């Protein structure tokens, strides 16, 4: 995870203003038996001096997702005229299509509005190495507008070791690291939340102390859509597979979450489930292509049928879609943030 931590530090100084306001990406649910949604597109980088983070925000993609799909690209100043793949095609996690599903490994949050035949997908920031969000089925226990932030004792200690003394309480407002909206999860001691941020970076990266972060517009939209009591399922699945109704077989591989600062997510081993091993070993799966996808870890669905091209060419991109904490009432409480 060294790359991610380095990017965080440099993006403090290099993220550019003027990013268009992004909107959430909505997809119609696929037909029964299918898990494939969306399509990848190509974006030709103009000579406008914008960072990869700014481009990612326009297309509702996390920064590391863009780096997975475009290895070797300069995250601070992509070369004008270069073609970026926008990884907007994905396999839905193999979970109930209910409430909120967070897949930590792919740094995405899926929201299935009740009674609607669609899924809304948001890029997220998650906990740093050693500050993992627990894997659990839980629910939204509290919705908190205008949160204040009371750093936990561990957070205060960690910041103090870096020479930073945090105030006892950071008041509500645009400078609050929690952003303007937060939803508490019914697990632990209430310290885990889905919330916003006051920074224009870090989404699609491991930057928090265990909470789940969204861009400001995204958390406002999600906050207004999600009822209190909504089911929340948190998983960690870097590999997703699907056999589609038309017989096409796909694997989508993301970099796994590092366990220590010395782990390299691009090369560390990924354990496959029994079902995934059977999929890989099936006579209809091209094992060479499957193994290549496991090594490449592009974060995009790869077609692995025997006798077929390993992936389909992305279409030309159109313009982008875009243009804790506190209890209710202002009483400060602690959060892992």
- For residue 64, which of 329, 230, 235, 258 has the smallest C-alpha distance? 258
- For residue 67, which of 81, 83, 84 has the smallest C-alpha distance? 84
Catalytic annotation, pick one of 97, 189, 211, 254: 211
195 is catalytic: yes
Instruction: Classify strands 41-44 and 315-316 as parallel, antiparallel or unpaired.
Output: parallel
Q: How many residues does the chain have?
A: 337
DSSP 146-197: S--BEE-HHHHHHHHHTT----S-BPSSTT-TTTTEEEEESSTTTT-EEE--
- Interatomic CA distance for residues 216 and 176, integer angstroms: 12
- Interatomic CA distance for residues 82 and 98, integer angstroms: 39
Catalytic annotation, pick one of 97, 132, 189, 195: 195
> Hey, which residues does 252 pair with through a beta bridge?
240, 301
> Hey, which residues does 242 pair with through a beta bridge?
250
- For residue 144, which of 220, 232, 199, 233 has the smallest C-alpha distance? 220
Q: For the packed helices 287-296 and 274-281, what is the interaxial angle rounded to 10 degrees?
A: 130
Taking each continuous run of H as one helix and of E as one strand, the counts in the chain are 7, 21
Burial class (CB in 10 A: 0-12, 13-18, 19+), 150: buried
254 is catalytic: no
Query: Which residues are tagged catalytic?
Result: 195, 211
């Amino acid at each position: 995870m060294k790359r991610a931590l380095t990017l965080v530090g440099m993006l403090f100084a290099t993220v550019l203003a003027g990013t268009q306001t992004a909107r959430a990406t909505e997809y119609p649910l696929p037909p029964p038996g299918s898990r494939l949604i969306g399509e990848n597109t190509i974006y030709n980088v103009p000579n406008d001096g914008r960072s990869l983070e700014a481009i990612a925000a326009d297309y509702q993609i996390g920064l590391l997702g863009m780096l997975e799909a475009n290895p070797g690209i300069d995250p601070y100043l992509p070369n004008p005229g270069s073609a970026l793949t926008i990884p907007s095609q994905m396999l839905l996690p193999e979970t109930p299509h209910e409430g909120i599903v967070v897949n930590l490994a792919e740094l995405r949050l899926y929201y299935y509005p009740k009674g609607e035949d669609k899924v809304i997908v948001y890029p997220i920031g998650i906990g740093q190495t050693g500050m993992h969000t627990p894997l659990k089925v839980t629910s939204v226990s509290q919705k908190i507008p205008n949160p204040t932030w009371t750093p936990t004792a561990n957070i205060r200690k960690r910041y103090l070791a870096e020479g930073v003394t945090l105030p006892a309480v950071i008041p509500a407002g645009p400078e609050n690291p929690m952003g303007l909206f937060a939803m508490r999860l019914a697990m632990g001691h209430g310290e885990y939340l889905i919330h916003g941020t006051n920074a224009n970076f870090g989404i699609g990266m491991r930057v928090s102390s265990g909470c789940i972060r969204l861009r400001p517009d995204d958390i406002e939209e999600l906050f207004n859509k999600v009822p209190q009591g909504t089911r929340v399922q948190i998983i960690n699945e870097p590999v997703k597979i699907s056999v589609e109704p038309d017989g096409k077989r796909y694997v989508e591989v993301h970099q796994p979450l590092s366990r220590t600062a010395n782990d390299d997510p691009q090369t560390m081993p990924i354990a496959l489930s029994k079902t995934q091993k059977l999929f890989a070993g099936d006579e209809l799966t091209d094992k060479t292509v499957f193994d290549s996808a496991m090594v490449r870890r592009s974060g995009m669905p790869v077609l692995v049928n025997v006798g077929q091209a390993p992936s389909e060419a992305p279409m030309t991109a159109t313009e982008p879609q875009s243009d804790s904490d506190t209890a209710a009432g202002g009483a400060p409480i602690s959060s892992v943030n």
